[in-house]
């Protein structure tokens, strides 16, 4: 089925561990992004990409790295997990870079850092 696929759905990490959240889309969208959602907040942008090989920081990039080697995949790396990174992470893609039209979200990854 067409859409945005995120894995894993749930993850528990110990402080200091590293991991990669996977995101893949099969809609040939150029624009992909990662958000985090914390209780009582909207979604805050971590990093985004406007095409393969091009990434940039969003509002809350510290502690996260991204790369975009293909149009389909946009993994998010936590280098050294901290309890403040406990959150729900959403990946999204869009076919319109200038307007963000057609935004499609993945089902999310719930991350707990202990």
Partner 1 sequence: GIQVEQSPPDLILQEGANSTLRCNFSDSVNNLQWFHQNPWGQLINLFYIPSGTKQNGRLSATTVATERYSLLYISSSQTTDSGVYFCAVVDRGSTLGRLYFGRGTQLTVWP
In whole angstroms, give the CA distance from residue 99 to residue 88.
25
Q: Which is nearer to partner 1, 17 or 104 (CB)?
A: 104
Q: How far is the CB of 15 from partner 1 (least distance, A)?
A: 25
User: Quick check: 19 binds partner 1 (CB under 8 A)?
Assistant: no
Tell me the window of 14-22, 60-68, 79-87, 101-109 that interacts with partner 1 (CB under 8 A).
101-109
Residue 34 makes contact with partner 1 by CB under 8 A? no
Q: Is 28 or 96 the residue whose CB approaches partner 1 more closely? A: 96
Q: Please state, in angstroms and rounded to a whole number, the distance separating the CA atoms of residues 22 and 75.
A: 5
Tokens of 14: 């110990």
- Between CA 17 and CA 37 the distance in angstroms is 21
């Amino acid at each position: 089925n067409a859409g945005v696929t995120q894995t894993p759905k749930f993850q528990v990490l110990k402080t200091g561990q590293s991991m990669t959240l996977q995101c893949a889309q099969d809609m040939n969208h150029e624009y992909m992004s990662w958000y985090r959602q914390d209780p009582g907040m909207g979604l805050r942008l971590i990093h985004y990409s406007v095409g393969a090989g091009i990434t940039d920081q969003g509002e809350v990039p510290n502690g996260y790295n991204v790369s975009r080697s293909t149009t389909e995949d946009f993994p998010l790396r936590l280098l050294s997990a901290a309890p403040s990174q406990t959150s729900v992470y959403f990946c999204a893609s869009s076919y319109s870079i200038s307007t963000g039209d057609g935004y499609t979200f993945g089902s999310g990854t719930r991350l707990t850092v202990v």
